[in-house]
Chains A and B, each alone.
Chain A
């Protein structure tokens, strides 16, 4: 039956598609032109790019919500905000002002489970300003940190929590998915935003210890991409950052085989939304582990199966979305199905499970080696597109350096896509989708509930 379905799918496909030559493409990828590790352990990567008079400066710390202390969920993210509140030579409120006055075009920070990144893109002539600001908060943050600042930042973060998880439709589901999928001891059990109660519990002493433990130069990478001279950047980086003493070597979270829940879980939420929605999540292998690349291809199968069955054939869903989040300690595979009005939970779950459990039913590409590789071109290309422009490129370099261990991992990943075969994709689907119990959240509309949703009583 599988073979028949594959043959039909193959025949329906129009001919074309040249294969991108990986070797030539890899040679054309931008890579750092200069790199160094400073005496205090700070890793520095520089890439000269003279297309525009701009420079992107990123500092990535190897600390995320996976490292939140027990009872202090949201700590790494709270800390991200504190880093904008001034340091010894940058009075409170001046960080943003100085950047704005310098003509910053892009600035922000983000916290994931695995890392916290700070970044700004500004005129290349202002490189020294960016290094001054980043080194001051790395070296002198604790000089000015006080209780009023912590209280103000806590208030801002709580507002972010409300905006993102209470007042945004369906948003409270995501933390529930992670909490149900991973056990309380797993680094991905909690979302980076944390909880309001635990944010309240963070003390000034906690904050100081967190900084001392995780925010040393030996736990960070500085990435500079733009209209600069590499040697000059390395010299400037030494001047601004090298005097900052290293912290004690940060402790490591041990890496273990992919987590697998014991049984399928079903959870019902209520939210003031008009349409019901079904969320499904599976845990999977960490970045670079066996099955990682194959599971990305397998997630395409889930998309086609769900879309073909629920949207096209049964017409009980408006749309389907599948994606993966891949990190150092595991990954998650998500399927989100926006259902039509009035579709009941049991019907939605039964039909979705049926579509997923029949491996080949709606797959639009046949499960042969060539088709699998072609189906991955979107992912493959997207990895290359992430190198477009100084800021995205710096972010990509930071991701690979921090999550994969080296910026050189990108070409290896492209080659892995090329090497993938149908047997491995099928095996990954069986292992990480069919044999891994899923967590299912159904959101039913209820006017009195918050838009983000709450657990159904």
Chain B
């Protein structure tokens, strides 16, 4: 499936757990510090430098190289999404993002927010940074570079970015929850084989 940003509620609701997708359009990076600062600004009633409505948020801290007046993406894989667990539900609600690209999955409050506001979690292979950089056609800009290269907000024009696996859909389904259940069912056997 080929997704194109900005994403609509309908686009996102059509996604089902287990689907494979790629993204064309604009994605914006944001991890710990971007979440903290963006939410702080929003709570004070101030605007973000970028409109995130319908955007795909990429949990990533890329390696960028300065080239002339611009930047080139050297390596850009996903970071561990669970660090943003406590902030993501409010981020989804306030800024209207429609997709989160990351790795490792997110907790129940985020799954609930995704289902309520129409957003999906797209898993990208952790460490697949060259593959990620190859999908980035242009670094359109950077905000909050004072946070340092990994923590800044990078605005990226992408084409065929992925492959991504729909791991949490907008209907409350999570691939990670399914795996958790399977792991729980396997536990007795695992413990037996360890003699514990």
Q: Do A and B come from one complex?
A: no
Residues of B bordering A, CB below 8 Å: none
